[in-house]
Amino acid sequence: MTAVPPTLPASVDAEASKDIQRVGKLSRAERRAIAVKGKLSSPWASGLAIIIAILWTIPSIGLLVTSFRPALDIRRSGWWTTFSDPQFTLDNYNDVLFGSADLASFFVNSIVITLPAVVIPISIALLAAYAFAWIDFKGRNLLFVAVFALQIVPIQITLIPLLAAYVDADINGTFWTVWLSHSIFALPLAIFLLHNFMKEIPSSLIEAARMDGAGHVKIFFQVLMPLLVPAIASFAIFQFLWVWNDLLVGLTFANQDSRPLTVAVADLAGTRGNAWHLLTAGAFVSMIVPLIVFLALQRYFVRGLLAGSVKG
Amino acid sequence: MTRSILSPKRRALAAVAGGASLALALTACGGSGGSDETSGSSGEASSIDCAPYEEFGDIDGTTVHVYTSIVDPEGATMQTSFEPFTECTGVEVDYEASREFEAQLLVRVKAGNAPDIAFLPQPGLLQTIVRDTGTIVPAPDAVSKNVDEFFEPTWKEYGTVDGVFYAAPMDANVKSYVWYSPTAFADAGYEVPETWDDLMALSAQYSEDNDGAIPWCAGVESGDATGWPGTDWVEDMMLRTGGPDVYDQWYKHEIPFNDPQVVAAFDAAGEVLKDPAMVNAGLGGVDSIATTPWTDAGFGLLDGTCFLHRAANFYQTQFPEGTDVSEDGEVYAFYLPTNQTDIKPVEVGGTFAAAFNDRPEVQAFQTYISSADWANAKAKATPNGGWVNANLQLDPENLATEFDRLSASILTDENAIVRFDASDLMPGAVGAGTFWTGIVNWLTGSSTQEVVDQIEASWPAS
């Protein structure tokens, strides 16, 4: 996603203010060192971060500006020419949302696809991760490595066999094919991340619960679950963004009536590309939900990037 | 009516219902539900003679699943044109379209999930599927009879693989067109040229009259298919410099790709495409052709920055809504002229309806779309124009625009020698690979000989 500018400047600022808070407790030499460091590196770092952020955002801004331009302008000149001759219209959004493309109704499809495709893998992965982390059984490590290794299977090579299996099982053409496919593709990473998160919980906590007579079910729901909420949230965001933005799985497994927003956007350009000026507006319509999710849950997202990644 | 004619809102409701209950979703979306619901949008449909479909027995209430690359808005007119068939037989047509059709069709065929009917945009794809998978079933006798009756024999040949007739022609595109501005022609007192020499003379005349202005505009950028509009140029020239027989030998590889006759065709196209005095009007130098999107290259006709633009008939849908496409309007096209006096070679494209199933309702549907009834129903269902086919009994009166009638008359002209786009007939590695990239190299500095040698070297050993 190029939609969201990186949060570098904000985090750099936070670092700087932390440095300042710490200053009071330090010796004079250290204080001087920090001051020097602050004078030298911080403006450069912030400046660089800001430049990167701007460069990173320019294409997105270009897309946004383009999406409001009249069709002929989009096709004949670059978005930057808008500044000398500003002309804006909402026609593209009107066409995209309520015209023949009617993206508004595909929103529902995308939501219907995304929610189960997030809930199913997380539910299964939680149970699997618990087993891998806290139940001792023979071949556990080998099995865990096997599950972990599944991540290297590229989803492209699974498309045809998977579709053939769905056809044999006679569930082709339903939402199940999309839900199951997303779940299958998500599980290896989900199990790995949640397992690592669960492993980080001190074993004394689990043992104490066992001493008190708690079984696996009780430990799972009453001891681990409350501690796991941030991990679940961060993975849920990952999976949500992945499924929402997915084109390949939707294209291959969804039928005409269950296709998600991304597939509809891909078809916006028309049979011979004669309506490609609608693509930018379509892209922004499909971006709204991930943007809201990202901004609202940014905290978990950044934490999730670090979760479980250091400990194997 | 068909399930896909359901309004999108209703589709959305179905989707909500599916999501609300996971268990119910299986039944809600799995069956071909909603068969008795009518959308009441059959206003354009005309009644037809139902007799040809009686031989297929009682097929009322069945469904034919169609998969195609023709998405909306063209897809909507396609669905309307199937309504007379549904009225006759009671067979639903479940229409599914995707721009990723060509890749997805192969995935589905390999996974055992082929549609009943696919509209294949090129004979090469038909050959690939027939030879590699054998999943396409031969066309029934009724279709074969229709095609014999309504089409020129060359069209049937393109739907035939290894002597077996599989797919009837549907749409036709006329590629041998030069777009121009009738108003600009009238203002300057120019006439539509009758021969290739006249066309070159007119180009020179235009430059002379306008202080060395550049007459032609061109663009071959088309995403991962960049180069294909350039192949059309060369193919059109091949038909004009080499003639149809050499053209056939060329795409069948009976003569090598670096044969002197192929070089001659490239160089004839190069008279325009590689001459800085001829291209690229309002867009840059010769090398700007490779980077200009084909969809937008001809827009200079509208504001006078470009004078001539060679593009197929479907280029008319690229012009902004409200553009006057007519013989004395803002833009129009004339047949790309030739110096040949006995024939009028026409380069065409088109789609072919191939069936993966021989159920009676599928065969009945194949029969319908190969008939003159369908051609006329489709013409009536396309009020904005932009559609023709090569059916000899297509009544020009039913076509929506003057330009479509011109295309139909070119296709059915008695001197017309129709040849299908050669790059669609060549093996994929060349026709959708090195020929395209070769065009880009050719336009950005490589010599003709270098390019044809490279393409010849890439021709797969059969």
Pair type for strands B332-335 and B177-180? antiparallel
The answer to whether residue B461 sits within a structural domain is no
Provide mean pLDDT across the span B339-352: 90
The answer to whether residue A1 sits within a structural domain is no
B305 and B446 in a single domain? The answer is yes
Give the per-residue pLDDT at B310: 93
Which two tokens mark B296? Answer: 């937008």
B109 and B158 in a single domain? The answer is yes
Give the per-residue pLDDT at B37: 36
Provide mean pLDDT across the span A157-181: 90
Give the per-residue pLDDT at B11: 43
- Candidate from A71, A115, A258 with C-beta closest to B29: A258
Q: Which of A4-8, A46-50, A155-159 has the least mean pLDDT? A: A4-8
Q: How confident is the model at residue B352 (pLDDT cuts 50, 70, 90)?
A: very high
Q: B15 CB near a chain A CB, below 8 Å?
A: yes
A192 and A46 in a single domain? The answer is no
Q: How confident is the model at residue B261 (pLDDT cuts 50, 70, 90)?
A: very high
A43 and A151 in a single domain? The answer is no
Inter-chain touch B318–A274, beta carbons under 8 Å: yes
Between chain A and chain B, the number of residue pairs with CB atoms below 8 A apart is 123
Q: A164 CB near a chain B CB, below 8 Å?
A: yes
CATH of the domain at B364: 3.40.190.10
Of chain A, the end-to-end C-alpha distance in Å amounts to 28
Q: What gap in Å lies between CA A141 and CA B131, rounded to an integer?
A: 47
Give the per-residue pLDDT at A39: 64
B121 and B265 in a single domain? The answer is no
Q: Which of A93-102, A261-270, B63-72, B373-382 has the least mean pLDDT? A: A93-102
B254 and B164 in a single domain? The answer is no
Which two tokens mark B349? Answer: 């494209």
Q: For B63-74, write each residue's pLDDT tens digit.
A: 999 999 888 778
Q: How confident is the model at residue B29 (pLDDT cuts 50, 70, 90)?
A: very low
Domain boundary among A58, A88, A118: A88
Map tokens 């032609």 to a residue: B216
- Candidate from B18, B71, B295 with C-beta closest to A267: B71
Q: How many domains does chain A have?
A: 2
A102 and A82 in a single domain? The answer is no
Q: A156 CB near a chain B CB, below 8 Å?
A: no
A73 and A179 in a single domain? The answer is no
Classified as helix, coil or strand, A53 is helix
For residue A146, pLDDT beyond 60: yes
* A272, B71 Cβ separation under 8 angstroms: no
How many degrees, rounded to 5, is the angle at CA A163 between CA A160 and CA A164?
85
Q: What was the ipTM of the complex prediction? A: 0.73
Q: A169 CB near a chain B CB, below 8 Å?
A: no
Mean predicted lDDT score pLDDT of chain A: 82
CA distances from A252 to A99, A266, B20 (A): 25, 13, 23
Give the per-residue pLDDT at B38: 36
A258 and A186 in a single domain? The answer is yes
Q: For B435-445, write each residue's pLDDT tens digit.
A: 999 999 999 98
Provide mean pLDDT across the span B90-102: 89
B150 and B294 in a single domain? The answer is no
CATH of the domain at A264: 1.10.3720.10
Provide mean pLDDT across the span B117-134: 89
Give the per-residue pLDDT at A296: 84
Pair type for strands B416-420 and B344-355? parallel
Inter-chain touch A175–B107, beta carbons under 8 Å: no
B115 and B194 in a single domain? The answer is no
For residue B22, pLDDT beyond 50: no
pTM of structure: 0.78
- Candidate from B74, B95, B110 with C-beta closest to A271: B74
A106 and A28 in a single domain? The answer is no
Give the per-residue pLDDT at A28: 74
B248 and B386 in a single domain? The answer is no
Q: How confident is the model at residue B215 (pLDDT cuts 50, 70, 90)?
A: very high
A28 and A78 in a single domain? The answer is yes
Q: What gap in Å lies between CA B17 and CA B1, rounded to an integer?
A: 21
- Candidate from B8, B104, B113 with C-beta closest to A251: B104
B164 and B104 in a single domain? The answer is yes
Which two tokens mark B346? Answer: 């026409």
For residue B13, pLDDT beyond 60: no
Map tokens 């290297």 to a residue: A152
The answer to whether residue A177 sits within a structural domain is yes
Give the per-residue pLDDT at A37: 66
For residue B4, pLDDT beyond 80: no
Which residues in chain B are contacts of A267 at CB distance < 8 A? 71-72, 97-99
Q: What gap in Å lies between CA B459 and CA B426, rounded to an integer?
A: 9
The answer to whether residue A136 sits within a structural domain is yes
Q: How confident is the model at residue B237 (pLDDT cuts 50, 70, 90)?
A: very high
Q: B99 CB near a chain A CB, below 8 Å?
A: yes
For residue B315, pLDDT beyond 80: yes
Query: A244: Cβ–Cβ under 8 A, 6 or more apart, which residues?
Result: A110, A114, A260, A261, A262, A286, A289, A290, A293
How many degrees, rounded to 5, is the angle at CA B246 between CA B240 and CA B247?
65
Measure A160 CA to nearest chain B CA, in Å. Answer: 5
* A204, A78 Cβ separation under 8 angstroms: no
Residues paired with residue B419 on neighbouring β-strands, in sequence order? B347
Query: B161: Cβ–Cβ under 8 A, 6 or more apart, which residues?
Result: B126, B127, B130, B131
Classified as helix, coil or strand, A19 is helix
Give the per-residue pLDDT at A85: 79
Inter-chain touch B71–A160, beta carbons under 8 Å: no
Domain region containing A53: 8-88
Give the per-residue pLDDT at B66: 93
CA distances from B134 to B23, B64, B76, B224 (A): 37, 20, 31, 28
The answer to whether residue B96 sits within a structural domain is yes
Give the per-residue pLDDT at A41: 66
B residues 302-361 near A, CB within 8 Å? 314, 317-318, 320-321
| Residue B121: closest C-alpha in chain A | A271
A170 and A30 in a single domain? The answer is no
Q: Which of A90-94, B104-108, B319-323, B417-421 has the least mean pLDDT? A: B319-323
For residue B24, pLDDT beyond 50: no
Residues paired with residue A80 on neighbouring β-strands, in sequence order? none
Q: For A20-65, write each residue's pLDDT tens digit.
A: 555 456 677 777 777 766 666 678 888 899 999 999 999 989 989 9
Q: What gap in Å lies between CA B120 and CA B66, rounded to an integer?
A: 11
The answer to whether residue B382 sits within a structural domain is yes
* B353, B143 Cβ separation under 8 angstroms: no
Q: How confident is the model at residue B267 (pLDDT cuts 50, 70, 90)?
A: very high
Which residues in chain B are contacts of A276 at CB distance < 8 A? 295
B230 and B104 in a single domain? The answer is no
For residue B372, pLDDT beyond 60: yes
Provide mean pLDDT across the span A267-278: 82
Give the per-residue pLDDT at A58: 93
The answer to whether residue B340 sits within a structural domain is no
Provide mean pLDDT across the span B21-49: 43
Provide mean pLDDT across the span B126-153: 90
Mean predicted lDDT score pLDDT of chain B: 84
Domain boundary among A41, A61, A88: A88
For residue A281, pLDDT beyond 80: yes
Give the per-residue pLDDT at A301: 67
Give the per-residue pLDDT at A79: 85
| Residue B67: closest C-alpha in chain A | A256
B295 and B441 in a single domain? The answer is yes
B284 and B392 in a single domain? The answer is no
Q: How many domains does chain B have?
A: 2
B315 and B439 in a single domain? The answer is yes
How many degrees, rounded to 5, is the angle at CA B146 between CA B140 and CA B149?
140
Give the per-residue pLDDT at A25: 62
Domain boundary among A67, A88, A109: A88
- Dihedral angle, C-alpha A55, A56, A60, A63, nearest 10 °: 50
A54 and A109 in a single domain? The answer is no
Domain region containing B103: 50-174+348-417
Query: In the sheet where B332-335 sits, what is the strand order?
Result: B308-310, B177-180, B332-335
